[in-house]
Amino acid sequence: MARLTLSGLTKHFGETVGIDDLALDISEGEFFVILGPSGAGKTTTLKSIAGLVDIDCGSVAIGGTDMTLVEPYNRNVAMAFESYALYPQKTVSQNLESPLRSGRTGKYSEAERRERIDSVTKTLGINHLLERFPRELSNGQRQRVALGRVLVRPADVYLLDEPLSHLDAKLRGAMRAELRQLGHMSNTTTTVYVTHDYQEALALGDRIAILRHGRLVQVDTPEVIWRAPHNTFVAKALGQPEINIFDATVDDNSLRVLGSGIEVDLPAAFGLGNGVNARLGIRPCDVTVTESESDDADIVNLSGRILLAERLGRNVEVSVDIGGTSLIALSKGGPHIRENANVVVQVPLADIHIFEGAAEGEESKRLGDAANGPESAPKQEERQ
């Protein structure tokens, strides 16, 4: 296993920014997830680590050794591409054996090759496909074979580029659980995993890096990124339905959403004077839709009327009109969850995020929450 350090990594494609001044320090054996939308620079980051693109400036160090000018073959990294890149003339077994026969990471006996292939294929659920050719496989099966070809050989760093993107929802869920076993299979090899799926990021990552337009927005544990997103972009990147964001104004130590019935007491520690613009953020999953108000002082009660209720499997997505503003909530259902019903929306103060004010279409920084006030200053390496 090896520590991976990226320093000032920059790559432009003409006028297009791939990655810009990217700095990451990934620990030995860490399962590190890079999350971001299309065009954020995720795949460019992986290719820069692997040496598959020539970076404009910056450095890549693996295990304390500068690999910036080292050829990809000699970096001892293994990469799974979003495309399958399988040998069409070879069976699944032969495709999986090819990295072990290359001699790059030592020589393996027939028994050792079989042991490694058996371990990987059982984990990926493809041990019954060993004698098939790629043309005889479904897209999901091909992707699992491509992933297995990476995991079957020892490496200092595994680079996984959206390896579950072609799988159906049920199989993706199962594979997320299986991928958590990577540390045991790979002798705690460092893994960098790229995805646009927030559920994969939260489920798999020891830490998560959020990228936007090639720049790092936030790096932290899944718990911290979920509970304390750096800004509205990060908050909206996690969760479905998306977090409710409301423009508000400070008025007599309260935040009021103009033209609605939403009002939240503002801790004095924020130091925001009357007339200052801010934003409220409320995740649908943090909302409870009930028939009566709560007496708990740490709960905000908002009266409203259900406009729309849509069953989404176990939960019901509810759109509640609160004095002229629509709030989206997730409910477990019940007889009171019906359209045009009068309800009370309950939200814990600790789950109400306070953001700076900003113009429409602009992102704004998180200041804290309505229960605990402003958050402490972030560390330099955690937020940029």
What's the pTM value of the predicted model, to 2 decimals? 0.89
Answer yes or no: are the C-beta atoms of 3 and 27 closer than 8 Å: yes
Q: What is the pLDDT of residues 325-374, one digit of tens each?
A: 999 999 999 999 999 999 999 999 999 999 999 999 999 999 999 999 99
Answer yes or no: are the C-beta atoms of 129 and 141 closer than 8 Å: yes
Question: How many CB atoms are closer than 10 A to CB 69?
Answer: 9
Binned at pLDDT 50, 70 and 90, residue 172 comes out as confident
Q: What is the pLDDT of residues 13-32, one digit of tens each?
A: 999 999 999 999 999 989 99
Pairing state between β 207-212 and 31-35: parallel
Question: How many CB atoms are closer than 10 A to CB 119?
Answer: 17
Q: Say yes or no to pLDDT of 53 above 90.
A: yes
Distance CA(60)–CA(73), nearest Å, equals 15
pLDDT of the residue at 378: 45
pLDDT of the residue at 313: 85
pLDDT of the residue at 382: 44
Q: Say yes or no to pLDDT of 376 above 70.
A: no
In this structure, which topology does domain 4-236 adopt according to CATH? Rossmann fold (3.40.50)
Token digits for 311?
Answer: 């069953």
Token digits for 217?
Answer: 């927005």
Mean pLDDT across 371-384: 61
Which range among 38-42, 137-141, 166-170 has the greatest average pLDDT?
A: 38-42
Q: Say yes or no to pLDDT of 384 above 60.
A: no
Question: What DSSP line would sit under 229-295, residue for residue?
Answer: -SBHHHHHHS-SSPPEEEEEEE-SSEEE-TTSS-EEE--GGG-PPTT-EEEEEE-GGG-EEESS---
Q: What is the pLDDT of residues 120-136, one digit of tens each?
A: 898 888 999 999 999 99
Token digits for 172?
Answer: 């993706």
Q: SS3 for 58-127, per residue? A: EEEEECCEECCCCCHHHCCEEEECCCCCCCCCCCHHHHHHHHHHCCCCCCCCHHHHHHHHHHHHHHHCCC
Residue of higher predicted confidence among 339 and 384? 339
Q: Say yes or no to pLDDT of 381 above 50.
A: no
pLDDT of the residue at 294: 96
Query: 75 CB contacts (<8 Å, ≥6 apart)?
Result: 50, 51, 62, 67, 156, 157
Residue ranges of the domains in the chain? 4-236, 243-374
pLDDT of the residue at 305: 97
Q: Say yes or no to pLDDT of 169 above 80.
A: no
Residue of higher predicted confidence among 138 and 349? 349
DSSP type of residue 227: H
Q: Taking Cα atoms as reference points, which of 299, 255, 296, 292 lies closest to residue 274?
A: 255
Binned at pLDDT 50, 70 and 90, residue 186 comes out as low
Q: Say yes or no to pLDDT of 109 above 60.
A: yes
For 148-157, 199-208, 233-242, which range has the lowest pLDDT when averaged over its residues?
148-157
Binned at pLDDT 50, 70 and 90, residue 108 comes out as confident
Distance CA(117)–CA(151), nearest Å, equals 9
pLDDT of the residue at 105: 66
Q: Say yes or no to pLDDT of 383 above 50.
A: no
Query: 272 CB contacts (<8 Å, ≥6 apart)?
Result: 250, 266, 278
Q: Say yes or no to pLDDT of 60 above 90.
A: yes
pLDDT of the residue at 347: 97
Mean pLDDT across 232-236: 97
Superfamily of domain 243-374: Nucleic acid-binding proteins (2.40.50.140)
Answer yes or no: are the C-beta atoms of 95 and 149 closer than 8 Å: yes
Token digits for 330?
Answer: 């997730």
For 65-74, 82-91, 343-352, which range has the lowest pLDDT when averaged over its residues?
82-91
Average pLDDT taken over every residue of the chain = 90
91, exposed or middle or buried, with CB in 10 Å at 0-12, 13-18, 19+? Answer: middle
Token digits for 315?
Answer: 């939960």
Q: Say yes or no to pLDDT of 165 above 90.
A: no
